Amino acid sequence: DAKTTQPTSMDCAEGRAANLPCNHSTISGNEYVYWYRQIHSQGPQYIIHGLKNNETNEMASLIITEDRKSSTLILPHATLRDTAVYYCIVRVAMNRDDKIIFGKGTRLHILP
Amino acid sequence: DTGVSQNPRHKITKRGQNVTFRCDPISEHNRLYWYRQTLGQGPEFLTYFQNEAQLEKSRLLSDRFSAERPKGSFSTLEIQRTEQGDSAMYLCASSSPGTKGRETQYFGPGTRLLVL
């Protein structure tokens, strides 16, 4: 799987939009961009994924640049419960084993 | 709650003892994964099952580690002769092919192991 680069940590004020960047300059055409988050002492939680079009669900929006070399996860109205480590991952579609290769992620602090 | 359960949630043991963890995946999921996570790091892949077959093992899975999924449902991960370096969070995840055309792994809450 391709490598991703994320900032180590970010702060965001409660109620504001949290924008988490991810660089994946070596992404291949058949690789999806996935986002997971991990709240302290819990297992990772799936947030959203996309191939090349922007995606939105009840948790977040995913904006992928046209060249697919970077993406941004947007939490539109951050709450204190969104404080977590956010992992950006690229994975081959329908891979045989489908294991996830996690990096260190971005530690997001939502400030009251 | 993702529907994946793990027991126990916490385990403290002395060096040299054997420990066993259990994972119950989402019932219709045929793929089951084990990961290990140490402090400040992201989870690292250990092994994966499709139904009862263990299809891949990471080099992190030393000879002291063994995982089973005897009937293709729940899975156990055993660590023999534990060492202090085994202290970590052990995470289980499950998935099923074809969900929305793409697999998504759902993680359990993890078992935190402390080896004294």
pLDDT at B101: 44
**Angle at the Cα of B103 from the Cα atoms of B49 and B66, rounded to 5 degrees:** 15
| Count of residues in chain A | 112
| Closest CA–CA distance from residue B12 to any residue of chain A (Å) | 16
Tell me which H or E stretch contains B21: strand B19-24
Q: Which residues contact B20 (CB under 8 A, 6 or more apart)?
A: B76, B77, B78, B79
pLDDT at B2: 78
From chain B, pick out residues whose CB is under 8 angstroms from the CB of A102.
42-44
pLDDT at A9: 97
**Angle at the Cα of B98 from the Cα atoms of A86 and A1, rounded to 5 degrees:** 45
Show the tokens assigned to A71: 């993406």
Is there a contact between B41 and A105 (Cβ–Cβ < 8 Å)? no
Contact A43 B102 (CB under 8 A): no
CA distances from B1 to A73, B45, B69, B75 (A): 23, 22, 22, 19
| Closest CA–CA distance from residue A94 to any residue of chain B (Å) | 6
pLDDT at A36: 94
Residue given tokens 């941004």 in the structure block = A72
Contact A49 B43 (CB under 8 A): no
Q: How many CB pairs under 8 A join A and B?
A: 57
pLDDT at A97: 62
Contact B2 A100 (CB under 8 A): no
Contact A99 B33 (CB under 8 A): yes
pLDDT at A82: 97
Is there a contact between B11 and B114 (Cβ–Cβ < 8 Å)? yes
pLDDT by position in tens, chain B (length 116): 779 999 999 999 999 999 999 999 998 888 999 999 999 899 999 999 999 999 989 988 889 999 999 988 999 999 999 999 999 999 999 988 765 545 688 999 999 999 99
3-state DSSP call for residue B93? strand
pLDDT by position in tens, chain A (length 112): 558 999 999 999 999 999 999 999 999 888 889 999 999 889 999 999 999 989 999 999 999 999 999 999 999 999 999 999 999 999 876 555 678 889 889 999 999 9
From chain B, pick out residues whose CB is under 8 angstroms from the CB of A89.
none
HSE-CB for A15 with a 13 A CA cutoff: 1
pLDDT at B28: 85
| Closest CA–CA distance from residue B42 to any residue of chain A (Å) | 5
